[in-house]
Amino acid sequence: MFAIVRTGGKQYRVAAGDKIAVEKIEGEAGDTVSLGDILLAGDGGEVKDAKGLVVSAEIIAQTRGEKVIVFKKRRRHNYRRRNGHRQSLTLLRILAVGDAKKAAPKKEAAPKAEAAPAAEAKAAPAKEAAPKKAAAPKKEAAPKAEAEKKPAAKKAAPKKDA
């Protein structure tokens, strides 16, 4: 079974087992995502109803595409600008094309989010246990220091020729 999916403003024909590079999708390698914007589905030569279908995919890697050089020039005006661009891409492996009920469940980022507060909770008591030092009072500048400064030397007046 195949499907035409739209993601990142582009359309892709996918089937189970395919690998595609799409515009960046949030997630880490190994996460499972579902592409829900299906335009067309089919099996062999038959076109099927795309309503209620979901394409599930696994993120292989987050990468960047080849560099594209953008060069602008206006002749006879000494105007040349060279710029490069690398698009952020996500490599996907299509796991299944099918009903939303049959599609592989998404891996949630909740366990990772729970692990982070636990690490903060362990670090927080260590910080609280350390005694805080009281700030030392600032000393005011002694007026004696200003009196000890030498007056600036006067510049000699330019000589006038008679």
pLDDT in tens, the chain (162 residues): 899 999 999 999 999 999 999 999 999 999 999 998 999 999 888 898 888 899 999 999 999 999 999 999 999 999 999 999 999 999 999 999 987 665 445 554 444 444 445 555 555 555 555 555 556 666 665 555 555 666 666 667 677 775
In a domain, 71, yes or no: yes
In a domain, 29, yes or no: yes
In a domain, 151, yes or no: no
In a domain, 162, yes or no: no
For residue 24, what are the domain limits? 2-124
In a domain, 73, yes or no: yes
In a domain, 12, yes or no: yes
In a domain, 60, yes or no: yes
Dist CA 104 CA 35 (whole Å): 12
In a domain, 136, yes or no: no
Domain count, the chain: 1
